[in-house]
Chain A
Amino acid sequence: MSDVKLAPKPLDRADERVRNDDSLTGAVRLFIDRVRAGDLGILPVAVGLVVISVVFSSLNPVFLLPNNLVNLLFDCATVGVISLGIVCVLMLGEIDLSVGSMSGFASALVGVIWVNMGLPLPVAIGAALLAGMVIGFVYATLYTRLGMPSFVATLAGLLAILGMQLYILGPTGSINLPFSSPLVAFGQLLVMPAWLSHGLALIPGLVVLFGGLNTAKRRRAAGLTAIPLSLLLIKAVVLTAALQFAVWYLNLGRGVPWMFGLFVGLVVAMQYALTRTKWGRSLFAVGGNREAARRSGINVRRIYYSAFMLCSTLAALGGVLAAGRLASSSQQAGTGDVNLNAIAAAVIGGTSLFGGRGSAWAALLGIIVIQAISNGLTLLNLSSSLRYMITGAVLAIAVIVDSLARQSRATHGRG
Chain B
Amino acid sequence: MSDDNPPKGELLLQLTGVSKNFGAVSALSDIELEVHAGEVVALVGDNGAGKSTLVKVLAGVHQPSAGEVRFMGKPVTLDSPAKALDLGIATVFQDLALCENLDVVSNLFLGHELSPWRLDEVQMEVRAWTLLRELAARIPSVREPVASLSGGQRQTVAIARSLLTDPKIIMLDEPTAALGVAQTAEVLNLIDRVRARGLGVIVISHNMEDVRAVADRIVVLRLGKNGGVFTPGSSNQELVAAITGASENAVSRRASRKAAEEHHE
Name which residue of chain A comes closest to B86, CB basis: A297
Q: How many B residues touch A, CB cutoff 8 Å?
A: 43
Interchain CA distance A219-B100 in the complex, whole Å: 25
Task: Return A25 CB to nearest CB of chain B, in Å.
Answer: 19
When distances are taken between beta carbons in the complex, the residues of chain A under 8 Å from B111 are 282, 293, 296-298
8 Å CB contacts to A: which residues of B12-34? none
Name which residue of chain B comes closest to A292, CB basis: B97
Task: Return B149 CB to nearest CB of chain A, in Å.
Answer: 8
When distances are taken between beta carbons in the complex, the residues of chain B under 8 Å from A224 are 122, 125-126, 129
Task: Return B145 CB to nearest CB of chain A, in Å.
Answer: 4
Q: Which of A215, A223, A356, A413 contacts B99 (CB 8 A)?
A: A356
8 Å CB contacts to B: which residues of A285-302? 285, 287-289, 291-299
When distances are taken between beta carbons in the complex, the residues of chain A under 8 Å from B138 are 15
Interchain CA distance A287-B111 in the complex, whole Å: 14
When distances are taken between beta carbons in the complex, the residues of chain A under 8 Å from B93 are 295
Name which residue of chain B comes closest to A21, CB basis: B141
Q: Does B178 contact A (CB under 8 A)?
A: no
Whether the pair A413, B147 counts as a contact (CB closer than 8 A) is yes
Whether the pair A298, B117 counts as a contact (CB closer than 8 A) is no
8 Å CB contacts to A: which residues of B83-139? 85-86, 91, 93, 97-102, 106, 110-113, 116-119, 121-123, 125-126, 129, 133, 138-139
Whether the pair B122, A288 counts as a contact (CB closer than 8 A) is no
Q: Which of A15, A297, A414 contacts B81 (CB 8 A)?
A: A297
When distances are taken between beta carbons in the complex, the residues of chain B under 8 Å from A378 are none
When distances are taken between beta carbons in the complex, the residues of chain B under 8 Å from A413 are 147-148
Task: Give the interface centre of A223, A288, A356, A357 by most chain B CB atoms within 10 Å.
Answer: A288
Given contacts A281-B119, A297-B112, A413-B148, contact A289 B98 (CB under 8 A): yes
Q: Does B140 contact A (CB under 8 A)?
A: yes
Task: Return A13 CB to nearest CB of chain B, in Å.
Answer: 9
Whether the pair A278, B119 counts as a contact (CB closer than 8 A) is yes
Task: Return A92 CB to nearest CB of chain B, in Å.
Answer: 12
When distances are taken between beta carbons in the complex, the residues of chain A under 8 Å from B81 are 294-297
Task: Give the interface centre of A287, A291, A297, A413 by most chain B CB atoms within 10 Å.
Answer: A297
Q: Does A7 contact B (CB under 8 A)?
A: no
Task: Return A353 CB to nearest CB of chain B, in Å.
Answer: 14
Task: Return A355 CB to nearest CB of chain B, in Å.
Answer: 8
Given contacts A18-B140, A288-B102, A298-B110, contact A278 B126 (CB under 8 A): no
Name which residue of chain A comes closest to B137, CB basis: A15
Interchain CA distance A293-B118 in the complex, whole Å: 20
Interfacial residues, chain A to chain B (CB-CB below 8 A): 11-12, 14-15, 17-18, 215, 218-219, 222-224, 276-279, 281-282, 284-285, 287-289, 291-299, 356-357, 409, 412-415
Question: Told that A222-B122, A294-B61 touch, could you supply 10 new A-B pairs with CB distance under 8 A?
Answer: A14-B133, A224-B125, A224-B129, A277-B117, A278-B119, A292-B98, A292-B99, A296-B81, A298-B82, A415-B145
The 5 closest A-B CB pairs, nearest first, are A415-B147, A278-B116, A288-B101, A296-B111, A297-B111
Interfacial residues, chain B to chain A (CB-CB below 8 A): 59, 61, 80-82, 85-86, 91, 93, 97-102, 106, 110-113, 116-119, 121-123, 125-126, 129, 133, 138-148, 161
27 example contacts (A-B, Cβ-Cβ < 8 A) are as follows A11-B126, A12-B125, A15-B140, A15-B141, A215-B121, A222-B126, A223-B126, A277-B116, A277-B118, A284-B102, A288-B100, A288-B101, A289-B98, A291-B97, A292-B110, A293-B111, A294-B61, A294-B80, A294-B81, A296-B81, A296-B97, A299-B82, A356-B101, A409-B147, A413-B148, A414-B145, A415-B100
